Chains A and B, each alone.
Chain A
Amino acid sequence: MIARPAPDLDTLDRLWLTEAVRLREEHAGPLDDDEANRQARAQGGDLPVLIEQRALWLARRDGLVEALLHWRQGARLGGFALALLAVFTGAGLAFAALGDGQRPVNVFWALGSLLGLNLLTLLGWLLGLLFAGDSGGALGRLWLWLSEKLARDARAAQLAPALLSVLHQHRLGRWLLGVGVHGLWLLAMGSALLTLLALLATRRYGFVWETTILGESAFVGLTQALGALPALLGFSVPDAGQIRASGALGGDLEGARQLWAGWLVGVLLIYGLLPRLLLAGFSLWRWRRGRAALKLDLSLPAYRLLRERLQPPSERLGISDAAPAQLHAPSAGAQLEGSAGAVLVAIELDGSRPWPPALSKGIADAGILDDREGRRRLLDQLTRFPPARLAIACDPRRSPDRGTLALIGELSRCAAATRVWLLQAPPGEALDSARLDDWHQALDSLGLPHSTTTPLGWLESGHD
């Protein structure tokens, strides 16, 4: 039994399954699809709809839909796991940055541990976006490799390549990956921010900075430069004196405590959270837009062949007027009474050969028969004065149709003896042996003697 279509297949899923079925057919040969085609045709629609219906029917039959649902479930679980990991990572980053409050926090160490990894991976992503030609990227290939290893049966083996192939169409892979990567980092940064706020709210931290070789002014400048953007949003920035004080050994930590905390939160928000938020939003927008524009690539050879089957440009209608059991057969005969003389007649010769040949006096030339009047005239005359010997010359390049055979039969019934002379081909031309054979068969069934040699001797003397 075929299960009803799963209701929650969206456009992407349907295209994905269609592509998976195409790849399967490409690799393992065509599937038995008579019923699928019939079902698709019965539902109607234009070609992409028909192809999709057919593929979905086959996918349901072969368990691809379940495989896809399994896969999606797995992906969802994996997503949850990753999200959880991201949350913990973020919290861990914040804890690692601030420590347990026993010792004053080194602000630049804290900043580095909060933003360092994030910014490095961001840089990597941007470089990949700019320079990597392959949209799937290393992660995509890793995923492909993994899914190949994990694919439990051959039917689902084409699912992963099919998704990549569909996504390749509009270079969607990078944006889907972008949504995932930036989303996860966004989560991690959000979690780090909340943890940071919670820690700052519930613990007392002192902030210091240290250096061995750099000068004081470098730190003052760096702090104020980093704080400039957050300051626009109202986050506090310690002034030069407070910064210097935090750097002094055993300096006053109390005065700038809140200002440093505000600065740290502001910098995390602007340089950690905000870029990821923007990029995640951008990736999501591109992904949505690209997904809406996805459609079947009908120029693929496989779909061209499918078109012939799903929307046949020509189909046979069958026989509407059956052949008779037997065709009307002309017959020959002979008129034995009162016949005298010899007549030579030709049927339907074209002007390419000289006619008649040189005849002796005893042979009458009846000319070339072509039209109705000529036929009627000759038949009238032969009926009145039946000849003893009649030779009928035919051009075997014409086809022996029933009309000609009927005429030969009718002529033969006016003479005591009739022979058919199958003329040789004119010089420079050859007779079609198949057609000559047709003549032989037709004349044999009429029961008339025939030959390709001239019957003039017989006409004159009555024997060969």
Chain B
Amino acid sequence: MTEALKLAVVGHTNVGKTSLLRTLTRDAGFGEVSHRPSTTRHVEGARLSVDGEALLELYDTPGLEDAIALLDYLERVERPGERLDGPARTARFLDGSEARQRFEQEAKVLRQLLASDAGLYVIDAREPVLAKYKDELAVLAGCGKPLLPVLNFVAQPGHREEEWRQALARLGLHALVRFDSVAPPVDGERRLYESLALLLEQARPKLQRLIEDHEAQAAARLVSGQRLIAELLVDVAACRRSVAAQPELERGAIRELHDAVRGREQRCVESLLRLYAFRKEQAAASDLPLLDGRWGDDLFNPETLKQLGVKIGSGMAAGAAAGAGVDLMVGGITLGAAALLGALAGGGAQTARHYGNRLLGKLKGQRELSVDDAVLRLLALRQRQLLAVLATRGHAATEAIRLATPQDQGWREGKLPDALQRCRAHPEWSSLNPGARLQDGERQAALDELQAELRQS
């Protein structure tokens, strides 16, 4: 087994070095990130492996803050009549006492860069090109290692990418990568590693392997995510509650059904977060707006549905009509039932009873509650949005996930996929029902079908 490629992540303080590491390692808990300067004061490493083989080691370093003074000092360590090259000068500085005092942090960076194969020079592209950054690059160049500038925060307004490109070109650094650690572009990692492979030709096979593995993993994660959503939809579509036709009992059952579905959705959200290595607590209470903002809206609240453009009118009408019809058939003795049914439909949970069942249940004084089509569509929309957001989210992101109003019409208005329609007739497919048969072959087939549907649309 060959040695892993070592990279030092260097740059000015507060430009997002630790954030870059978090995103590249998909480890949201790596190091500490804050707005304060000098947050990271130590050197910390992370290793990227494929199939158990270490390919890349990344080292987070403290920020360079005093490069102007350090460059002055470096020029002074040369004795009269001597001509030292960059690495020799740097080595002499590291042996000296200032490397343990005023320039202790800078010395850490230089030592790590000397021990690495190359450096990623992180730039906050929102900053103007100041002289101190040029001096930083001069200090770093003294280590004699290839440097790849990485423009961070290019997805944010007010960045000065063009200025930086010109300035870096003047310094002889023509290869550079745009990589926003909070919202990394889809092919960001590939570009970063490919640019690196141009600087380090002998490391190309390793980097290529890393790129391929990461892309394969991303695709596989997406498939797994779709599987999780399909399971949620099957569970909810097949969920059913049987309840005696008494208003209090029915209200209780509806509430219980709501809670069960909401709980199930929360489980799906948590599974997706885990799948994408975002921690639950990291994104829970305030960060992931499942409890507040739009996520926190009651799932069965008609307002939410309207907001998402889901049409529940037909459900309401059908529910009310069916309820009234049933009331008429039993001689109008349960006048409250039609109103209740309307309320159910309005609340999103519709008494979806097949005709025979309906009459039979009515005669026995039983009603069957299941979840409205509109709610299923909403669940599918929300989870697919979440999946799409997670797939492109950097692990440095700390802001809450915000979801826009979904645009695709298929799930909003079209008819539900056949697989979901089938679930309606199979209460035993839902983990929310007692006596569930989750390994049922037909259920697995429905899941596969649904997963394919989710992939297409």
Identify A324's interface contact among B104, B214, B275, CB under 8 A.
B104
Cα-based distance from A432 to B27 in the complex (angstroms): 27
Considering only residues 96-135 of chain B, those with a C-beta below 8 Å from chain A are 101-105, 108, 111-112, 127-128, 130-132, 134-135
Identify A328's interface contact among B72, B102, B158, CB under 8 A.
B102
Cα-based distance from A322 to B41 in the complex (angstroms): 8
- The minimal Cβ–Cβ distance linking B34 to chain A, given in whole angstroms, is 9
B59 at the interface (CB under 8 A from A): yes
Cα-based distance from A313 to B211 in the complex (angstroms): 12
Q: Is the CB of B275 within 8 A of A301?
A: yes
Q: Which residues of B contact A134 (CB under 8 A)?
A: 441-442
Cα-based distance from A41 to B51 in the complex (angstroms): 11
Known: A301-B228, A314-B27, A323-B42. A401 touches B13 (CB 8 A): yes
Considering only residues 302-356 of chain B, those with a C-beta below 8 Å from chain A are none
Q: Is the CB of B45 within 8 A of A316?
A: yes
Q: Which residues of B contact A315 (CB under 8 A)?
A: 46-47, 49
Count chain A residues whose beta carbon lies closer than 8 angstroms to a beta carbon of B.
Answer: 58
Q: Is the CB of B43 within 8 A of A320?
A: yes
Q: Which residues of A contact B52 (CB under 8 A)?
A: 41, 44, 311
B384 at the interface (CB under 8 A from A): no
Known: A317-B44, A321-B111. A403 touches B37 (CB 8 A): no
Q: Is the CB of A316 within 8 A of B26?
A: no
Q: Which residues of A contact B50 (CB under 8 A)?
A: 313
Among B42, B59, B214, B444, the one with the most A-chain Cβ atoms within 10 Å of its Cβ is B42
Cα-based distance from A114 to B360 in the complex (angstroms): 48
Known: A299-B227, A401-B12. A317 touches B45 (CB 8 A): yes
Q: Which residues of B contact A133 (CB under 8 A)?
A: 441-442, 445
Cα-based distance from A399 to B34 in the complex (angstroms): 12
List the count of A-B residue pairs having beta carbons below 8 Å apart. Answer: 161
Count chain B residues whose beta carbon lies closer than 8 angstroms to a beta carbon of A.
Answer: 71
A204 at the interface (CB under 8 A from B): no
B271 at the interface (CB under 8 A from A): yes
- The minimal Cβ–Cβ distance linking B185 to chain A, given in whole angstroms, is 20
Q: Which of B217-225, B251-259, B364-372 is the interface stretch? A: B217-225
Q: Which residues of B contact A301 (CB under 8 A)?
A: 224-225, 227-228, 271, 275
Query: Chain B 196-237 against A: per-residue CB contact (8 Å), 1 yes, 0 no?
Result: 000000000000000001100100110111011000000000
Q: Which of B63-71, B82-90, B141-149, B375-383 is the interface stretch? A: B63-71
Q: Is the CB of A327 within 8 A of B127?
A: no
Cα-based distance from A324 to B62 in the complex (angstroms): 11
Cα-based distance from A308 to B49 in the complex (angstroms): 11
Cα-based distance from A327 to B24 in the complex (angstroms): 28
Chain A residue with Cβ nearest B75: A372
Q: Please list 15 pairs of residues, one from A and one from B, whose beta carbons are closer than 8 Å in the complex, sorted by A's number.
A: A44-B52, A133-B442, A133-B445, A134-B442, A164-B439, A168-B441, A300-B224, A305-B274, A314-B25, A314-B27, A316-B30, A321-B108, A324-B41, A328-B105, A398-B127
Interface of A toward B, CB cutoff 8 Å: 23, 26, 41, 44, 46-47, 133-136, 161-162, 164-165, 168, 298-301, 304-305, 308, 311-324, 327-328, 348, 350-351, 370-372, 375, 398-403, 406-407, 429, 432, 434-435, 438
Additional A-B contacts beyond A320-B59, A399-B14, A401-B38 (4; CB < 8 A) = A301-B224, A314-B27, A318-B44, A321-B111
The 6 closest A-B pairs by CB, nearest first: A317-B45, A371-B131, A323-B41, A321-B43, A350-B128, A401-B65
